[in-house]
Structure formats: structure tokens, C-alpha cells
Structure 1
């Protein structure tokens, strides 16, 4: 349904980004090749993800948020890609497994981040003062509560695009493949 664009076949506004991505990774990910159909979407996602990477949330916390949204939205590609990122961060295997399987996290701070992310997404941000206070009581800041919104928006955008375009998991990520599990 959606073309796997190359640098040459992509709309002109997407070519520079695709070329840079291919140079950086050594291959052109299918998700980017398909997202190139809408250059503004691709550019917007890359800008937003770059901004999210520069938030005050630590790298593991950012990945917990991303995996929470990816699992919530059933994005097999983001689950594989961010599992690989967690492995690269030397995240504890139990944390990775819990995020992939939807099981409880042993770390209270990360567990709270996951719950807060889910609550903010489920309530379209309308979680109320008491919920924010609980988030803050786990060592997070008001700034980080808003950075959660940035992360939710960024990774909702990518997970929906990946699902819409049916982007497959690329070969370098196949060892981290994930399939949504039916509800128990």
C-alpha cells in the first residue's frame, strides 16, 4: 500500500533526510522509506524525537516512556527498535522483559513513570492535581510531567505512522522482534 521509497524515488523534500539516515545507519529503515511519502511527517517526527532526546528525563526513563506508548499502540517496529536501544543502554534484562510483556516494573520510579504515561495518554492529559502530585513524589519535576506529554505526542505520531504504513522490522532489528499479545 505504501511505497518503500529510495533516496531517488522519494519526494524531493524527503531526499536529504533519507540520504542522511542511510549514511548514519548504513541502511534505509523501511519505516523511514515509507514515512518519506509525507516529508513533513518524517521531518516533524525527527525534530520531535530530537527534542525528546534532549529533555531532562534520563535515557532509561525516555525509553520506558517510548516502550509504554509503543506497547499501548501495538507498534511491533518501535518495540523492536527500542528494545535494541535498551540493550545498548545496558538496561537490566528484567526491565526490558517487563516493558515488552506489560508486566510490573520492580523499580518504583520507572513504574510510576510508566503509570503516569499511561494515565496522561488515557485521560488526554486531564489527570488532575493529585495524579501530578503522585508523579512528583517519585522524584520527577513539573517540567518532566510536561516532557512526558512531548514523549507521548512524538511516539504516538511514529507508532501510528508505522502501523498505517505497515512498516516491517528491518533485518538489523529482527532479533528484537515483538508481536502484540492477546489480552488475558
Structure 2
């Protein structure tokens, strides 16, 4: 059986329930990303992802910390599109080129507190939430709180939705993101 081809919807071809969400993204970003046009096939998926994203953005994690979580999930899940999308997002939020390069490479971060966040995010992913005590202790010792541990879980869930959907649909890189293209290491 061959893989079905997913439809890159327009506001005219998308299911009616997805159209308001698509219009909102298009207004906010100035264009309709292909990933959103593909997710529109399932209005519930699209609305769920956008809603979870909005909630994650309101957590107690600062903007740079949120992007560390997102890029950690994106590289771990090998989503070329999410890495490309969140590279400039992190730069806009004050992420340094060194920080961005380390995240894209899956390498140790130059800031110890953010490195603890990256390692904790990986532990949540690798252990499917059953984080070993030593990993949680290291996270908290770096100055994070238990609330932040739960905020990371929200970020992991939110961006697992998009990374998995983008990989399933083979979402292409939009032309404005070409400069941020990323491929996982072998």
C-alpha cells in the first residue's frame, strides 16, 4: 500500500470547521503555512494544536525557555519543519546564535540553566514522563520549579502534535524558512 497524499488545503477547500483557524493563522503570519494547510484536513487536530500552543505560550516559562523546549522536541522528533520555524522565533526572542546552533545540533547549551531545561525535556521524552529522580533533582537544582516541570510536559505534548503531524503529512518547508533549513544528523 502506498502512502496517501495529504491535501494542502486552501481556505476554499478546507473543511468548514478548519477555516476560521486557518484565517487566524494567515492573519497573524501574513501567509498560510503549508503545515497548517495540511493539518486543516482534521479541523480538530488543527484547533487542538493551535489551542495547546496558545496555552503553552501562557505558561510561566519565559519565551526563550519555551523555545528551548520546542526546539528540543523538534530535534528529538526529527521535524525539519519545526526546527526551521522555531530557529527565527528563538532569535526574535533573544536567543543567541550560539544557543540556537547548540539546540539545532542537539549539543550542550552554553547557559547552565537552559541546559538543565533541555536535558529535562529530553528526559521527559525519553522516559515518557517517568523522569528519574536524579533528572528531576538536577532540573530543580538549576533553579526551575515543579510548576516548570509540568509546563515542560505541556510543551512536549503540544509540539509532539505538530512534529508528528508534519512528519506524517511530509509537510514542506515554506519558502520564507529556506534560510533556516535543517536536516537531522545521521
The interval holding the TM-score normalised by the smaller chain is: over 0.9
Q: Distance in 2 between matches of 1:155 and 1:109?
A: 21
Match of 1:144 in 2: 148
Secondary structure at 1:135's aligned position in 2? Answer: helix
Secondary structure at 1:147's aligned position in 2? Answer: helix
Match of 1:63 in 2: 67
Is the CA contact 2:64–2:94 (under 8 Å) kept in the aligned structure 1? no
1:79 correspondence with 2:46 = no
Shift of 1:149: 0.5
Match of 2:127 in 1: 123
Q: Distance in 1 between matches of 2:78 and 2:6?
A: 19
TM-score (norm 2): 0.95
Query: Which structure 1 residue ranges, 4+ long, deviate > 2 Å from structure 2?
Result: 128-131
Among 7, 11, 35, the alignment partner of 1:7 is 11
Q: 5+ residue gaps in structure 2? A: none
Q: 5+ residue gaps in structure 1? A: none
Is the CA contact 2:124–2:153 (under 8 Å) kept in the aligned structure 1? yes
Shift of 1:129: 3.3
1:110 correspondence with 2:114 = yes
Match of 2:176 in 1: 172
Q: Distance in 2 between matches of 1:128 and 1:75?
A: 26
The worse-fitting range, judged by mean Cα deviation, of 120-129 and 104-113 is 120-129
Q: Distance in 2 between matches of 1:71 and 1:117?
A: 12
Secondary structure at 1:124's aligned position in 2? Answer: coil
TM-score (norm 1): 0.96
How many residues are paired up? 182
For the aligned residue pairs, the C-alpha RMSD in angstroms reads 0.9
* Cα deviation digits, residues 98-139 of structure 1 (max 9, x gap): 001112111110111011000111111111433322211111
Q: Distance in 2 between matches of 1:134 and 1:178?
A: 30
Match of 1:160 in 2: 164
